[in-house]
Amino acid sequence: MLLAAPTGRAAKRLSEATGADAATLHRLLEFNPRSRQFDRNREHPLSCDLLIVDEASMLDTVLAHHVLRAVPDHGRLILVGDVDQLPSVGPGRVLADLIRSDAVEVVRLTEIFRQAERSLIVVNAHRVNRGEMPILESVETDGDFFFIERKEPEEIVETIAQLVSKRIPGRFGFDPVEQIQVLTPMNRGPLGTDNLNNTLRDLLNPAGPAVTRGGQTLRAGDKVMQVRNNYDLEVFNGDIGRIAEIDEVDQIVRVAIDGRTVAYDYASLDELVLAYACSIHKSQGSEYPCVVIPLHTTHYVMLQRNLLYTALTRAKRLAVLVGETRALGVAVGNRRVRPRFTRLAERLKEPGA
Per-residue pLDDT band for 126 (boundaries 50, 70, 90) equals very high
Please provide the average confidence, as pLDDT, over all residues in the chain.
Answer: 91
What residue ranges define each of the domains in the chain, with the CATH number in brackets? 2-111+338-349 (3.40.50.300), 114-333 (3.40.50.300)
Per-residue pLDDT band for 52 (boundaries 50, 70, 90) equals very high
CA distance 136 to 166: 22
What's the mean pLDDT in 295-311? 92
Task: Please give the model's pTM, rounded to 2 decimal places.
Answer: 0.88
Q: How far apart are the first and last CA of the chain?
A: 26
Instruction: Say if residues 70 and 40 touch (Cβ distance below 8 Å).
Output: yes
Assess whether pLDDT exceeds 60 at residue 4.
yes
User: Percentage of the chain surpassing pLDDT 90?
Assistant: 69
Assess whether pLDDT exceeds 90 at residue 141.
no
**pLDDT on residue 201:** 97
Q: What is the pLDDT of residues 253-293, one digit of tens each?
A: 999 998 899 999 999 999 999 999 999 999 988 899 999 99
Assess whether pLDDT exceeds 90 at residue 351.
no
Tell me how crowded residue 335 is: count the other CB atoms within 10 A of its CB. 9
What's the mean pLDDT in 7-21? 89
From the number of C-beta atoms within 10 Å of its C-beta (0-12, 13-18, 19+), residue 154 rates as exposed
- Count CA atoms within 13 Å of residue 9 on its CB side: 19
Chain centre distance of CA 68: 24
Tell me how crowded residue 39 is: count the other CB atoms within 10 A of its CB. 12
